[in-house]
Amino acid sequence: MNTSHQQYLDPEIVSKLKGMEIRARMVVEGFIAGLHKSPYHGFSVEFAEHRQYMPGDNIRDIDWKVYAKSDRYYIKQFEEETNLKAYLLLDCSASMAYQSGDRITKMDYARLLCGALSYMMLKQRDAVGLVTFDEKLRQYIPPRSKSGHLHVLLNELSRQAPSDKTDITSTLHEMAERIKRRGLVIILSDLLDEADKIISGLKHFRYNKHEVIVFHILDPRERDFAFPSEAIFKDMETGEELTTLPYQIKGHYARAVSDFSEEIASACRQSRIDYHPIDTSMPFDKALYAFLAKRERLY
């Protein structure tokens, strides 16, 4: 990774930038700058290289300027234009507001990742839509591929704030029925719901032939439970409080979280769903690599 661009992949640094569009652009540009020769085709529709004209090629692709100089026919090759329809499903429930210490919240991490994914996909002429939800569907912006659509998506992302309880399942089922044409569904959530219900909703998308990516976003403390000797825990959705000694239950808690994540991951593998666990200290390049690897397998 080019060290001069690493700062644009650090969630805490990016979160301090002003404006969603600036943040999304910095993440994407930092990511691209960190790549060497990218193995991922389909990332853009910019010019790639020339090749010699062959019978059956479309004459509209002939580079006439090259012909004028060389008296030979060459075809301009471009990166693949995918015409994909993608749907970003963003969890806006109260639990997504959690952060430990000075870290970025899960919600901010998910919003920034949504912005970066939107920026990337619209640059390659994919159509992108946005769904926000908590205990019900909040907002649905249908996929569009026009460049001006980026501002619509980023404006919506910037005004979203966590609130209310979680009901991931109902949104998954509702959107699985609403989306008629086969597309790519990307879910960004802490998945704080019952595992079997989440799995049921994810499988509904696969039953309808959609490709699915799940970014399971948690704060590091939600995985390791490394809290002080005595702590008061407050449910961000119900307000219920519990005083406990974390060291007494740390091992049991960590196993429970690990078992829950593995149950989701196993079900995803069986249904050919890409499951990517993320914590909010993770640089964005890892999440973006995971996305592009999925795109490579699709095409």
- Check whether residue 74 and residue 167 sit in a common domain: no
Q: Residue 200 pLDDT > 90, yes or no? A: yes
Assigned token pair, 3: 């060290």
Instruction: Give domain status of residue 40, yes or no.
Output: no
Are residues 227 and 221 in contact, defined by beta-carbon separation less than 8 angstroms? yes
pLDDT tier, 270 (very low <50, low <70, confident <90, very high otherwise): very high
Range of the domain at 221: 3-34+82-298
Low-confidence winner among 115-124, 160-169, 210-219, 230-239 (lowest mean pLDDT):
230-239
What's residue 39's pLDDT?
42
User: Residue 217 and residue 279: Cα distance in Å, rounded?
Assistant: 5
Report the domain count for the chain.
2
Instruction: Give domain status of residue 41, yes or no.
Output: no
- Check whether residue 173 and residue 63 sit in a common domain: no
Q: Read out DSSP for 13-81? A: HHTTSSSHHHHHHHHHHHHHHH-SS---TTS--SEEEEEE--TTS-GGGB-HHHHHHHSS-EEEEEPPP
Instruction: Give domain status of residue 39, yes or no.
Output: no
Assigned token pair, 97: 């507001």
Instruction: Give domain status of residue 92, yes or no.
Output: yes
- Check whether residue 176 and residue 63 sit in a common domain: no
- Check whether residue 94 and residue 71 sit in a common domain: no
Q: Angle CA(16)–CA(22)–CA(25) in degrees, nearest 5?
A: 115
Are residues 87 and 186 in contact, defined by beta-carbon separation less than 8 angstroms? yes
Instruction: Give domain status of residue 130, yes or no.
Output: yes
Instruction: Give domain status of residue 200, yes or no.
Output: yes
Instruction: Give domain status of residue 51, yes or no.
Output: yes
Assigned token pair, 46: 């910019």
Cα dist from 192 to 92, 101, 257, 268, whole Å: 12, 21, 11, 16
Mean pLDDT of 137-162: 91
User: Residue 288 and residue 27: Cα distance in Å, rounded?
Assistant: 10
DSSP 3-state assignment of 208? coil
- Check whether residue 118 and residue 168 sit in a common domain: yes
- Check whether residue 257 and residue 283 sit in a common domain: yes
pLDDT tier, 245 (very low <50, low <70, confident <90, very high otherwise): low
Assigned token pair, 77: 């090759």
Residue 240 gets the label, from left (phi > 0), alpha (psi -120 to 50) or beta, of beta
If you average pLDDT over each of 40-44, 134-138, 238-242, which comes out highest?
134-138
Mean pLDDT of 77-84: 55
Largest CA-CA distance found in the chain, in angstroms, rounded: 81
Are residues 295 and 38 in contact, defined by beta-carbon separation less than 8 angstroms? no
Assigned token pair, 116: 């970066």
Mean pLDDT of 129-136: 92
- Check whether residue 73 and residue 153 sit in a common domain: no
Q: Residue 83 pLDDT > 70, yes or no? A: no
- The enclosing domain of 277 has a CATH number of 3.40.50.410
Q: Residue 190 pLDDT > 70, yes or no? A: yes
If you average pLDDT over each of 31-40, 76-85, 94-103, 186-195, which comes out highest?
186-195
- Mean pLDDT, the chain, as a whole number? 83
- Check whether residue 55 and residue 130 sit in a common domain: no
- Check whether residue 51 and residue 87 sit in a common domain: no
pLDDT tier, 231 (very low <50, low <70, confident <90, very high otherwise): low
User: Residue 172 and residue 193: Cα distance in Å, rounded?
Assistant: 12
- Check whether residue 126 and residue 222 sit in a common domain: yes
Between strands 184-189 and 74-78, the pairing is unpaired
Higher pLDDT, 37 or 180: 180
User: Residue 186 and residue 106: Cα distance in Å, rounded?
Assistant: 16
Low-confidence winner among 39-48, 62-71, 89-98, 103-112 (lowest mean pLDDT):
39-48
Q: For residue 173, which amino acid is it?
A: H
pLDDT tier, 5 (very low <50, low <70, confident <90, very high otherwise): low
- Check whether residue 30 and residue 139 sit in a common domain: yes
Mean pLDDT of 271-298: 86
pTM: 0.78
- Check whether residue 63 and residue 189 sit in a common domain: no
Higher pLDDT, 40 or 21: 21
DSSP 3-state assignment of 173? helix
Q: Residue 75 pLDDT > 90, yes or no? A: no
